[in-house]
Amino acid sequence: MTQHRRSSRLKAAAFAIPTIAALALTGCSASAGGSDSSGGSKEFSLSFATSNTIESPFQVLAEKYMEANPDVKITFNPQPNDSYDQTLRTQLQAGNASDIVVTSPGSGQGRSILPLAEAGFLEPLDDTAKELLPEGSAGTFGPDGRVFGQATAITVSALVTNEGAVKEAGEFPADFEALEEQCKTLESSGKSLFALAGAAPPNTGLTAMSLAASRVYAQDPKWNDKRAAKEVTFAGSEGWKSALEAVNTLKDAGCFQKGAAGAGFDAITKGLASGTALAGFIPATSWKQLQSATAGSEFGVRALPAEEGSGKDFLYASANYAFSINAASKNKEAAKAFLAWAAEPEQTKAFAEIDGALPVSGLDSYDFEGGAYKNVGDLIKDGKYGPLPNIQWPNSAVYDALATGVQGIITGQKTPDQVLQAMDAAWG
Amino acid sequence: MTATMQPQMEAAKAPRRGRRAPGAGVTTRSRGRGLEFGHWWWALPGIALVFAIHYVATGVGGFFAFTNWTGIGAFKVTGWVNFEAIFKDPTKVGALSNTLFLAFGSVLLGNIAGLVIALGLNRVIKTRYVLRTLFFMPVVLSPLATAYIWKYIFDFDGPLNAFLTAIGAGDQAKPWLADPQWAIWTVLVVLVWSSTGFAMVIFMAGLAGVPVEVEEAAAIDGANLWQRFRNVTLPAIRPAVAIATTLGIVQGLRVFDPIMALTGGGPAGATETLATQVYKQAFALGNFGGGAALALVLAAIILFFAVIQQRLTRSNPED
């Protein structure tokens, strides 16, 4: 009996000691991590999405801030890109989101500013953020004239090209008809003009939107406003129909690599890095990551050629990411100080260089020559660009209908009309 | 079976007899207390946790099925609108049909394969222990990790197409997971591969209870292999069949991670299931109300088929 009691005590101790230790450690870490410092703390946390092993430009900028301000401590909370939206929403609702969160303008994504601001999760920002608003995009950074996000950089959404492979193939096609011809030539030599991730909705959606640039938004930059006012529909738009029919044209001309319908993003990376594909429909900032990963290759940004003689070359360039302050933050002053510092021209330029993007301020005097953006410099200077369309769409279901629909067009499951009708249905 | 049950029953009755015997009351009472170890209320914390975590959470989720909540901010109660939308949307109806196809396909093929392997590895083969482990391995491995390996195998530049090209069947090479006709079958292959081991283990447990003497008697009476299986083995392992098929259907109806990893529901919804649609609606497209409604529909379907399955395969109709 005594032995039994002793062994029971030993068992109890064996369970209790680690439990108490764990509780104590949790308690310790909680108190250390707790940053309740309404009394002017210079400590704050920052959440951002990551999609590769390359250090996030948001983190690099924040580290620069800590270097310049040794008394500031920033806790980084990187999240995988595919689960970032849901994590951000859950944390905001639970009241434990980071003090500064990276958001996107508009309402087309889970991290979009408008629904988060309307739900009261974001702190209104001051005039510094207002001054950084890209022209014509104020409505996507907050309702009722208020601003809830500070734009970080101008991201071009066009084609990223392997310039070495382009030179090897001759010249980059000047119009859409020449593009079809080049596709056929490249296909016969075992290469492709485009590397497509047909199984990755973000890529198929961006491909279709790029095709719509010259066919829809070059002719009518306010098309989204008209759609919101129910003056037009996707299914009734000749431009949108032409854009989705062009997906079939590109497929039939052999513009995509073999097996494109089932390919992931790795097919784009592999194709562009090896030069077996000349271009990909990916955010322009990827040129920098590709160049750093592929020694000796040169990557650039180009616009998708418009139809012959239309003179409607057009691309998307907009602030796709923003810094927002969590309305429930206890370190708002420290967060605002960081945003004020990040808004300085020196920092916006530095961030653009780190990110491989264009600076959110001073674009008029930006020197495009010699850089990755030299082929789109004229279009930007001439104002032939607009915001990425889905930023202005009311929900993410519209983009999903487009992205999955394009895959359906490539596999022959859907017609352009069916996809456009699905987009109208998703718009609501 | 009866012979082994009898002594246990007698042993269980022994204290009752002892209680009737004069002078044996004290001993009996202490034994009785010893058997009454534990009280019903000891289970209360567990019941409370299960109730709070499982049923309350499910109930709250079920409530949102009748709202237009986007996952954030305010919401309105919209009644049956979300359910109407499910049955009007061809994508959701397609997801329902894919769900049933994958669930019943994987149960049927997985159980047949599992039974064949279990019969083969039951007694005869010397290396049966190694083979059992190998066949059971897919059950132990992470479905997500193995799905990515299968994705690589079925990739357009993957080993399967390389093999087809090597044997001169290069014209059959295709992006298996992005082909509208083949994608669902490719997913089914992966599901069957991962469920076979589980069915095999259940059938092996069932086969262990089949008396060798009865099989030998049937063989002596002139029953051939099929007759022995049909009339002796199969009736004896009927409870194992019930368990394997019920668990298989429940698992098949809610399958999620292999499909997300293999196709993400594509191409263009060709492999979409109710579970992947629940995730997309609730968490990717900001339609939490619609996702919750789909989850309720999925739960009702699982319950329906689980009950039907249990009734069809129970060994005693009076159970």
Task: Dump pLDDT digits (tens) for B3-56.
Answer: 333 334 333 444 444 444 444 444 444 455 556 677 888 899 999 999 998 899
| Phi, then psi, of A214 in degrees rounded to 5 | -80, -25
Residue of B nearest to A204 (CA): B268
Task: Answer yes or no: do B175 and A262 touch at CB < 8 A.
Answer: yes
Chain A residues with CB under 8 Å of B266 CB are 199, 404, 407
pLDDT at A113 (0 to 100): 94
Chain A residues with CB under 8 Å of B283 CB are 86
Task: Answer yes or no: do A407 and B178 touch at CB < 8 A.
Answer: yes
Residue of B nearest to A88 (CA): B72
**Cα dist. B74→A90, A230, B58, B59 in Å?**
15, 25, 20, 19
For residue B24, the 8-state DSSP code is: -
Task: Answer yes or no: do B284 and A400 touch at CB < 8 A.
Answer: yes
- Which of A120, A396, A404 comes nearest B268 by C-beta? A404
Task: Answer yes or no: do A407 and B287 touch at CB < 8 A.
Answer: no
User: For a pLDDT cut of 90, what percent of chain B falls above it?
Assistant: 42
Residue among A112, A396, A404 with most chain B CBs within 10 A, to mutate? A404
Cis amide prior to B267 (ω within 30 degrees):
yes
Of the three residues A307, A340, A355, the one that is the final residue of a domain is: A355
Tell me the average pLDDT of chain B: 84
**Cα dist. A116→A68, A142, A147, A221, B108 in Å?**
31, 9, 12, 26, 47
- Which of A89, A199, A397 comes nearest B178 by C-beta? A199
What's the gap in Å between the CA of A413 and the closest CA on chain B?
A: 7
Confidence check: pLDDT of A21 > 80: no
* pLDDT tens column, B60-106: 889 999 999 888 888 899 999 999 988 888 888 899 999 999 999 99
* pLDDT tens column, A373-388: 999 998 988 888 989 9
Domains of chain B: 98-313 (1.10.3720.10)
| Phi, then psi, of B29 in degrees rounded to 5 | -60, -45
**Cα dist. B54→B58, B67, B316 in Å?**
6, 21, 32
- Would residue A13 count as lying in a domain? no
Task: Answer yes or no: do B73 and A119 touch at CB < 8 A.
Answer: yes
**Cα dist. A80→A53, A86, A352, A405, B144 in Å?**
11, 11, 22, 25, 17
What's the gap in Å between the CA of B127 and the closest CA on chain A?
A: 40
Do residues A213 and A310 both lie within one domain?
A: yes
- Which of B179, B266, B286 comes nearest A395 by C-beta? B286
Token readout for B60 is 């709250």
Do residues A192 and A280 both lie within one domain?
A: yes
- Would residue A70 count as lying in a domain? yes
User: For a pLDDT cut of 90, what percent of chain A falls above it?
Assistant: 59
Chain B residues with CB under 8 Å of A404 CB are 266, 268-269
pLDDT at B8 (0 to 100): 40
Do residues A325 and A239 both lie within one domain?
A: no
Task: Answer yes or no: do B286 and A201 touch at CB < 8 A.
Answer: no
Do residues A176 and A118 both lie within one domain?
A: no
**Contact predicate A237/A227, CB 8 Å:** no
Residue of A nearest to B266 (CA): A199
* pLDDT tens column, A236-256: 999 999 999 999 999 999 999
**Mean pLDDT over residues B157-178, rounded?**
92
Chain A residues with CB under 8 Å of B267 CB are 198-199, 261-262, 407-408, 410-411, 413
Domain span including residue A208: 156-318+378-427
What's the gap in Å between the CA of A199 and the closest CA on chain B?
A: 7
Confidence check: pLDDT of B162 > 50: yes
Residue of A nearest to B73 (CA): A119
Chain A residues with CB under 8 Å of B287 CB are 397
Task: Answer yes or no: do B73 and A263 touch at CB < 8 A.
Answer: no
Confidence check: pLDDT of B315 > 90: no
Confidence check: pLDDT of A171 > 80: yes
Q: What whole-number distance in Å separates Cα of residue A230 and Cα of residue A224? A: 10
- Which of A89, A263, A408 comes nearest B72 by C-beta? A89
Q: What whole-number distance in Å separates Cα of residue A165 and Cα of residue A152? A: 32
- Would residue A373 count as lying in a domain? no
**Contact predicate A257/B178, CB 8 Å:** no
Q: Cβ contacts of residue A216 below 8 Å, gap of 6+? A: A223, A237, A239, A240, A243, A389
pLDDT at A210 (0 to 100): 95
Please name the amino acid found at residue A24: A
User: For a pLDDT cut of 70, what percent of chain A falls above it?
Assistant: 89
* pLDDT tens column, B237-290: 988 998 898 889 888 888 898 999 999 998 999 999 999 999 988 888 888 999
pLDDT at A31 (0 to 100): 34
Do residues A405 and A271 both lie within one domain?
A: yes
**Cα dist. A370→A142, A149, A367, A382, B296 in Å?**
36, 32, 8, 18, 58
Do residues A134 and A148 both lie within one domain?
A: yes
Confidence check: pLDDT of A362 > 50: yes
ipTM over 0.95: no
- Would residue A69 count as lying in a domain? yes
Chain A residues with CB under 8 Å of B284 CB are 85-86, 110, 396, 400
Task: Answer yes or no: do A262 and B72 touch at CB < 8 A.
Answer: no
Confidence check: pLDDT of A52 > 90: no
Confidence check: pLDDT of A16 > 80: no
**Cα dist. A55→A48, A51, A101, A289, A346 in Å?**
11, 10, 17, 10, 20
Do residues A150 and A196 both lie within one domain?
A: no
Task: Answer yes or no: do B155 and A397 touch at CB < 8 A.
Answer: no
Do residues A74 and A179 both lie within one domain?
A: no
Output the 3-class SS for chain A.
CHHHHHHHHHHHHHHHHHHHHHHHHHHHHHHHHCCCCCCCCCEEEEEEEECCCCCCHHHHHHHHHHHHCCCCEEEEEEEEHHHHHHHHHHHHHHCCCCCEEEEECCCCCCCEHHHHHHCCCECCCCHHHHHCCCCCCHHHCCCCCCCCCEECCEEEECEEEEHHHHHHCCCCCCCHHHHHHHHHHHHHCCCEEEECCCCCHHHHHHHHHHHHHHHHHCCCCCHHHHHHCCCCCCCCCHHHHHHHHHHHHHHHCCCECCCHHHCCHHHHHHHHHHCCEEEECCECCHHHHHHHHCCCCCEEEECCCCCCCCCCCCEEEECCCEEEEECCCCCHHHHHHHHHHHCCHHHHHHHHHHHCCECCCCCCCCCCCCCCCCCCHHHHHCCCEECCHHHHCCCHHHHHHHHHHHHHHHHCCCCHHHHHHHHHHHHC
- Would residue A370 count as lying in a domain? no
Do residues A232 and A298 both lie within one domain?
A: yes
Do residues A131 and A178 both lie within one domain?
A: no
Do residues A255 and A286 both lie within one domain?
A: yes
**Contact predicate A292/A299, CB 8 Å:** no
pLDDT at A74 (0 to 100): 95
- Which of A115, A258, A413 comes nearest B268 by C-beta? A413
Task: Answer yes or no: do B267 and A261 touch at CB < 8 A.
Answer: yes
Q: How confident is the model at residue A53 (pLDDT cuts 50, 70, 90)?
A: low
User: For a pLDDT cut of 70, what percent of chain B falls above it?
Assistant: 86
Return the minimum-mean-pLDDT range out of A26-35, A132-141, B272-281.
A26-35
Confidence check: pLDDT of A34 > 50: no
The CATH number given to whatever domain includes residue A340 is 3.40.190.10
Greater confidence (A304 vs A110) lies with A304
Q: Strands A277-280 and A192-195: what pairing?
A: parallel
- Would residue A361 count as lying in a domain? no
Residue among A101, A114, A258 with most chain B CBs within 10 A, to mutate? A258
pLDDT at A3 (0 to 100): 47
Of the three residues A340, A355, A370, the one that is the final residue of a domain is: A355
Do residues A90 and A120 both lie within one domain?
A: yes
- Which of B74, B180, B284 comes nearest A396 by C-beta? B284
Number of domains in chain A: 2
Residue of B nearest to A85 (CA): B284
pLDDT at B314 (0 to 100): 67
Residue among A79, A86, A390 with most chain B CBs within 10 A, to mutate? A86
For residue B231, the 8-state DSSP code is: I
- Which of B73, B174, B178 comes nearest A118 by C-beta? B73
Q: How confident is the model at residue B318 (pLDDT cuts 50, 70, 90)?
A: low
Confidence check: pLDDT of A292 > 90: no
Return the minimum-mean-pLDDT range out of A19-28, A87-96, B118-127, B290-299.
A19-28
pLDDT at B89 (0 to 100): 85
Chain A residues with CB under 8 Å of B85 CB are none
